Structure 1
Amino acid sequence: MNKYILGAIVLSAMITFLLRALPFLLFKEKELPEWLKKIEKKLPMTIMAVLIVYCLKDLRTQMTTLFFPCFLACLTVVFTYKWKKNTFLSIILSTVVYMIFIRL
């Protein structure tokens, strides 16, 4: 492997690690700022909304074949997240529902 490619991979990995570790280093023993607490509470629902909008962006061109599976997957996301407040579970269950209904 070319040494420049290997260097780019190592540099990218180091930068990614530092960016992930930075919040823990900055707020290690401090109280979180109030604005960050607000973001912490709103972010999971915002991420879910962005994912739903992204999934529905191509629905207009595929209205006849994918409307029902997309609609059920979106309902699954909404109800699962409201019920359990677990983003990962909502994504997994809605993906399973979508995959089942596009195969039927």
Structure 2
Amino acid sequence: MPDTSYLLSAVALCASITWSLRALPFAVLAPLRTSTTVDYLSRHMPVGVMVILAAYTLRAITPAQLTVTGPALAVTLALHLWRRNAVLSVLTGTALHVALTTLLAHN
């Protein structure tokens, strides 16, 4: 069994490494708050990511699937352009898509 000083030094070393790793993001974040590059990316990347995800999702859609996906996509896009709220538009579009899929699948 290791002696007490060895165990205490091991615990102190682990605690200091853990504290340092948790503090590191805050130390790195401070200079990034005034960065023009980060400001530019924070304004333009969400739109770019959403366009890529939408194109990837719609790449293999068939005309038969458009009866469900088309209205849901149109409502999502219109709601987002009107309210500028991504959460609202995505949740509404998803709910409409699920509702249309359920209604049309049972008919």
Does TM, normalized by the shorter one, top 0.5? yes
Aligned residue in 2 for 1:35: 37
**How many residues were matched structurally?**
81
Tell me the CA shift for residue 29 of structure 1: 6.0
Q: Does 1:98 align with 2:97?
A: yes
Identity of aligned residues (%): 17
Structure 1 segments of 4 or more deviating over 4 A?
A: none
Task: Tell me the distance in 2 between the aligned counterparts of 1:63 and 1:85.
Answer: 29
Flag structure 2 segments of 5+ consecutive residues without an equivalent: 1-20
Task: Tell me the distance in 2 between the aligned counterparts of 1:68 and 1:94.
Answer: 14
Task: Tell me the distance in 2 between the aligned counterparts of 1:42 and 1:58.
Answer: 26
Task: Tell me the distance in 1 between the aligned counterparts of 2:56 and 2:89.
Answer: 15
Structure 1 pair 96–25 and aligned structure 2 pair: CA distance change class (3 A): farther
Task: Tell me the distance in 1 between the aligned counterparts of 2:28 and 2:58.
Answer: 37
With normalisation by structure 1, the TM-score equals 0.61
When the two chains are superposed, the root-mean-square deviation of aligned CA atoms in Å is 2.4
Does the 8 A contact of 2:76 with 2:90 survive in 1? yes
Aligned residue in 1 for 2:83: 84
Task: Tell me the distance in 1 between the aligned counterparts of 2:102 and 2:88.
Answer: 21
With normalisation by structure 2, the TM-score equals 0.60
Flag structure 1 segments of 5+ consecutive residues without an equivalent: 1-17
Aligned residue in 2 for 1:63: 63
Larger Rg: 2
Does the 8 A contact of 1:44 with 1:87 survive in 2? no
Tell me the CA shift for residue 30 of structure 1: 5.4
